[in-house]
Structure 1
Amino acid sequence: MPMIDELLAAGTPPIVAILRGIQPDEAVPVAASLIDAGIRMIEVPLNSPEPLKSIAAMQAGFGETALIGAGTVLTVDAVNAVAETGARLIVAPNVDPPVIARAVESGLEAMPGCMTPTEAFAALSAGAKQLKLFPAAALGTGHLKAMCEVLPKSVGIWAVGGVDETNASAWLGAGAAGVAAGGSLYRPGRSAEEIGRIARRLVTALSRS
């Protein structure tokens, strides 16, 4: 089961798909469309309907070649519940050291959300190696560049919030390790085929950066 560094080293596009609101019966076809388009990192926020069912279904179908996991992970109990599905990715909108530490202890990839260097270093102290700059659109690429200047070069910073095919490459150019796309990629009611088309455009946009 690959982790972020392994996927990036293999040339996987640095994109996490955020499937907020997905229903369990959509999970497998939507994941298949994303993976076919080249996106191999997928999160289901825990405020989606029956998120653990969706995560478990995607993990069972694609966990050997894709990194599947949960977003909006706010508690240690939630980390444990995600780990029980076999999924490996834990994404949060905030820095909660016990949540990060539990994810790392469980062998999961932790990507906590931060806005400031203070939050970023607190996340690193708790064991995170990947950080989610959130909300990226409100902060701008200049903010990301400033963060990159003070953080260790080994740390991956992912731009999340307001990312789409028109600006994703600008985030990579500013120093982001990758991006995450939510509403610009998946919304409840979109077909798996439409999601696949949007995903391909996003992958193509990043390949030109």
Structure 2
Amino acid sequence: MYELLSTSDRQQWLMASLRRQPLIIVLRPKESDLLGPFLQSLLCHRLDQLVDLGVRHIEIAWMDHLRWSDLIATIRLRHPTVQLGVASVTSQRGLQAVIDLDLPYAMSPLLDQGLVSMAHQHNCCLVPGVMTPTEIRQALVLGCHLVKLFPALVLGLDYHRQISAPMGDLPFMIAAGGLTVADLDPWLSAGYDAIALGRGVLNTTAAVDDLRHWLT
């Protein structure tokens, strides 16, 4: 589906999709999710729940495990309409798995020039993690039009405004790390383009209700 798209096209596609729904939910598989029957796993339950709520962008964290790629293939068959990305890509091995599966995009908690170069070479959309103005500028120079601000909660709600004044135009910025559903509207209003949340949004009935309310 995505094999004919260039890196730039994939970045534009992801930005357009996130403008329609500026939310990403990140799920981290456990060993039991990989070894047991998928339909009986907690991960499957979480995915079904998110899709039923109307979440469009879901990331599955990379794991260096023989059955990880099979897990991703199973998820894609069960939920073909989900824009499925990969989180926590910090190695060439992880990025190669994303490339081999032709997944829409991957995210990293760090800015690694080697990984960015590898992604561009294979027309893969890799969203690097950044924290400082220097890293943000370096990501732009490397051709990354989307970045993940991480850890967002440590940097604070006002960080976007503080750096946009001296830096001017900023890349499409996804805030991630320590945020909750209650942070969605304040952080989006503060200038961030999208928000990434962890699986904790499904840990309580109240949290699920808050997410459902936001999505509707």
Give the TM-score normalised by structure 1: 0.79
Q: 2:16: which partner in 1?
A: 6
Confirm or deny: 8 A CA contact 1:46 1:52 kept in the other structure.
no
1:1-56 per-position Cα deviation (integer Å, ceiling 9, x unaligned):
584223235x3x21111102342423444323212212111112224875433322
Structure 1 residues 174 and 137: alpha-carbon distance in aligned structure 2, compared to 1, 3 A threshold: same
Question: Aligned to 2:71, which of 54, 65, 69?
Answer: 54
- Taking the aligned partners of 1:170 and 1:83, their CA distance within structure 2 comes to 35
- Taking the aligned partners of 2:100 and 2:189, their CA distance within structure 1 comes to 37
- Taking the aligned partners of 2:17 and 2:138, their CA distance within structure 1 comes to 26
- Give the total of aligned pairs: 196
Alignment of 1:125-144 (within 5 A): 125-144=141-160
1:68-99 per-position Cα deviation (integer Å, ceiling 9, x unaligned):
12111112232111222232221111000121
- Taking the aligned partners of 1:90 and 1:111, their CA distance within structure 2 comes to 6
- Partner SS state of residue 39, structure 1: coil
Q: CA deviation at 1:183?
A: 4.3
Structure 1 residues 16 and 146: alpha-carbon distance in aligned structure 2, compared to 1, 3 A threshold: same
Q: Percent identity?
A: 25
Structure 1 residues 79 and 182: alpha-carbon distance in aligned structure 2, compared to 1, 3 A threshold: same
Q: CA deviation at 1:158?
A: 0.9
| Most deviating of 161-170 and 198-207 | 198-207
Structure 1 residues 120 and 159: alpha-carbon distance in aligned structure 2, compared to 1, 3 A threshold: same
Kindly indicate whether residue 213 of structure 2 is the aligned counterpart of residue 176 of structure 1.
no
Equivalent position amino acid for 1:173 in 2? S
- Partner SS state of residue 52, structure 1: helix
Q: What runs of 5+ residues in structure 2 fail to find an aligned partner?
A: 2-9
Q: 1:104: which partner in 2?
A: 120
- Partner SS state of residue 173, structure 2: strand
Equivalent position amino acid for 2:48 in 1? A
- Partner SS state of residue 184, structure 1: helix
Q: CA deviation at 1:203?
A: 5.4
Q: CA deviation at 1:104?
A: 3.2
- Partner SS state of residue 127, structure 1: coil
- Taking the aligned partners of 2:145 and 2:50, their CA distance within structure 1 comes to 25
Structure 1 residues 171 and 138: alpha-carbon distance in aligned structure 2, compared to 1, 3 A threshold: same
Q: CA deviation at 1:103?
A: 2.2
Q: 2:7: which partner in 1?
A: none
- Taking the aligned partners of 1:57 and 1:145, their CA distance within structure 2 comes to 41
- Aligned CA-pair RMSD: 2.7
Q: 2:213: which partner in 1?
A: 204
Give the TM-score normalised by structure 2: 0.77
- Partner SS state of residue 166, structure 1: helix
Equivalent position amino acid for 1:5 in 2? M
- Partner SS state of residue 83, structure 1: helix
Confirm or deny: 8 A CA contact 1:136 1:162 kept in the other structure.
yes
